[in-house]
Every structure is written in structure tokens, then in C-alpha cells.
């Protein structure tokens, strides 16, 4: 297996267990009225969004956005992509964010308890050094 494939697998595994990836999923399950249905729809939405971005990147954009060196991505492509996401997400998610805010305010104690439990588990497992480094 070439080194670039190994690198991609390791990055995918790290992204899978990243707090940035897990936090929205945990919040969706905690805040949802029916966690099983909420989790299934959350997974289906994440999978379809990932596949849609992959199809657009592979077939629509193609090699136009790729740089000649794999280690140096084009900066303007990243900036334009982030700008498009900010513009698209702002209008489409305003109502959803307001409803989630209301649910989070109603379930603030539950969310705080889960955060404290996760912090305690991290401290028990790794000690203080695990949180710092």
C-alpha cells in the first residue's frame, strides 16, 4: 500500500473520532425528541452530503482545482470553498439553528452533564497530561 493511501486512512480515522466530528452527532442525539430516528436521519444526511461533495469534486470540478504538488493545495480554492459554504449555510440553516437553540436551552443540564461525564472519562483514562497534550 503506498504511503499516500496509508496517510489518507490515518487522517480518516483521526477525523472520525475528532471532537469536531463527534460533537454535532452527540448534540443531535441528545437534543432530538426521538434519538434513533434523529440519528438515522443525521447519518443519512451526512452520508448524502459527503457523497454529493465527492461527486461534484470528481466530475464537475475535476483536476481544475488540483495543484501540481499533492502536499501544497491551492489557497484560493480553499478560500472560495469556505466562502461558498458560509453563504449557502447562512440562509438555509437559520430556522434550524433557532429551533436547535431552543432545544439546547431546554436540555442545557443534560448537555452539561454529558460534557462533564466525557471530561471525567478523559481524565480517568489519560490523566491531566492527556487533556493538555
**69-102 residue pLDDT tens:** 666 656 666 677 666 766 776 665 566 667 778 8
Domain ranges of the chain: 93-133
**11-55 residue pLDDT tens:** 777 777 677 777 777 778 888 788 888 888 888 888 888 888 888
- Are 102 and 109 in contact by the 8 Å Cβ rule? The answer is no
Q: pTM score > 0.75 for this model?
A: no
- Are 87 and 3 in contact by the 8 Å Cβ rule? The answer is no
Q: Is 81 exposed, middle or buried (CB count within 10 Å of its CB: 0-12, 13-18, 19+)?
A: middle
Amino acid at each position: 500500500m503506498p504511503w499516500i493511501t496509508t496517510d489518507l486512512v490515518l487522517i480518516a480515522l483521526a477525523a472520525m473520532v475528532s471532537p469536531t466530528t463527534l460533537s454535532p452527532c452527540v448534540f443531535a442525539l441528545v437534543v432530538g425528541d426521538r434519538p434513533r430516528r434523529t440519528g438515522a436521519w443525521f447519518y443519512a444526511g451526512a452520508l448524502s452530503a459527503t457523497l454529493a461533495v465527492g461527486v461534484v469534486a470528481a466530475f464537475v470540478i475535476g483536476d481544475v482545482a488540483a495543484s501540481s504538488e499533492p502536499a501544497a493545495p491551492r489557497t484560493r480554492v480553499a478560500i472560495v470553498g469556505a466562502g461558498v459554504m458560509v453563504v449557502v449555510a447562512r440562509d438555509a440553516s437559520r430556522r434550524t439553528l433557532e429551533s436547535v437553540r431552543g432545544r439546547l436551552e431546554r436540555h442545557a443540564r443534560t448537555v452539561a452533564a454529558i460534557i462533564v461525564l466525557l471530561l471525567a472519562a478523559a481524565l480517568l483514562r489519560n490523566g491531566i497530561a492527556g487533556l493538555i497534550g
